[in-house]
Structure 1
């Protein structure tokens, strides 16, 4: 693939991803609750978007012409909260209140109370449906911004996701750039054992989407795919991002246990040592 990111930019994004992974581990350990595996796996996607690709203003979270981001796999809030805090949407100190009673940082994104959150999600399938509806609104208002959506692969076993796919095709929503976080693991096990999705690329193509498949933990490939998506006119784009659940922590990688299990003290210490070594 053509080199899209200069070496210094790539290194800065890689270091940022490591910092965000440390925040994810810390938040979930402190709360003794939360989804660590999928958050770690999706970190490179969210970092590429917020630190390089998206137009957004942390000092004005309601800026009308900002790009929108919808975390359809809403249980993976640790990654988006860590990024939003680091960008300056709210104080880093707030991360200590993750999943605490009265906190604005609940287990699933809640748009009315959390600066930087563009859509409330949690019920699987709801986020992509909300996102394409928002994108149609943008089209009607002749807006040029993009709507970025990250779905889980277990999530798109829901029929609602495919209704959204038909909707986006019907209305030619080329302002939609979506991702399937394809790690093959969900809370009950391997997605192909529970409800097979493969072959996934031709499925989305048959619904009228432009489809690409990338390594979702490779920042160069993420940036390149989004650039290609922006060149597409007249149809939405789905990027199948093959990721490693638990990416960055060796004993969490590709282990279904870490879908929603918080790390105990020893696991937390070992994870942080690995991530410190990575930086």
Structure 2
């Protein structure tokens, strides 16, 4: 896909996120919207996957460590054809497939059940180590939240990935600067992030997380790194694409009303029209 086509996909994903959350009346728009460009470039360009065979043994794996951002993953999976788009309207409803956090046993295309923060990198390490032991060439991508990296297990997993030289692991940090209680630096400062990951023997790449060309270049760079895992620190905007949600911690875990949803979709559709 071209950069413009990927931007259109990211816009569709953002529209889907809003359209899911309004009827659900609960969920997490802020961190889902911030990650749309990351997920769009992974699922529609970078990852080797097959929606007709979700359990294909040689597929690349994706772990949404910040599982509360499930809507961004569900939209990408629906747009790729893993399940009908109509399922998106059943988000967080009893008996439906798409729950508040990803469930690998119920949702095609979900490689790891997540929700308890801090555990995704450990799971990704296991998948990557299995690939090494089985002489497979698939890659494992894991999306972390910047509030999540205050969890100690993240750093234990970071040490393990470096120790086992898991160069088939690429972590992407959605660095939007906000979490449920406010600014990440105020709640639990994890700065300086790049220096910390380098100290843990990771290859570090810093990019604008809304620049699709920069993201694709970062994935390509990570693929060339041998002997150590890579992390892409992607600077993003919480609530990206919706004016009244951008950079507002209050939209971490609150669903928009019907009226707010209409306004958000109006803005996103105008953005799509401007993309041509």
- Common fold: TM-score over 0.5: yes
1:84 aligns with 2:91: no
Q: CA deviation at 1:112?
A: 1.0
Q: Which residue of 1 aligns with 2:96?
A: 103
Q: Which residue of 2 aligns with 1:46?
A: 39
5 Å-filtered alignment, 1:50-69, equals 50-69=43-62
1:124 aligns with 2:117: yes
Q: Which of 131, 153, 160 is residue 167 of structure 1 equivalent to?
A: 160
Q: CA deviation at 1:215?
A: 0.5
Q: Which residue of 2 aligns with 1:273?
A: 266
1:186 aligns with 2:179: yes
Q: Which of 15, 18, 25 is residue 25 of structure 1 equivalent to?
A: 18
Q: Which of 108, 121, 144 is residue 115 of structure 1 equivalent to?
A: 108
1:263 aligns with 2:256: yes
Q: CA deviation at 1:47?
A: 0.1
Q: Which of 250, 259, 262 is residue 243 of structure 2 equivalent to?
A: 250
Q: CA deviation at 1:26?
A: 0.6
Aligned residue for 1:240, secondary structure, equals strand
RMSD over aligned Cα, in angstroms? 0.7
Q: How far does the alpha carbon of each residue in 1:221-265 deviate from its partner, in whole angstroms, 9 at most, with x for none? A: 100000000010000001101000000111111000110110012
TM-score (norm 1): 0.96
Q: Which residue of 2 aligns with 1:3?
A: none
Structure 2 CA distance, aligned partners of 1:213 and 1:171?
A: 23
For these two proteins, the number of residue pairs brought into alignment is: 272
Aligned residue for 2:2, secondary structure, equals helix
Q: CA deviation at 1:78?
A: 0.4
Aligned residue for 1:63, secondary structure, equals coil
Q: Which residue of 1 aligns with 2:67?
A: 74
Aligned residue for 1:214, secondary structure, equals strand
Structure 2 CA distance, aligned partners of 1:251 and 1:70?
A: 29
Q: Structure 2, unaligned stretches of length 5 or more?
A: none
Q: CA deviation at 1:126?
A: 1.0
Structure 2 CA distance, aligned partners of 1:272 and 1:180?
A: 26
Q: Which residue of 2 aligns with 1:11?
A: 4
Q: Which residue of 1 aligns with 2:30?
A: 37
Aligned residue for 1:162, secondary structure, equals helix
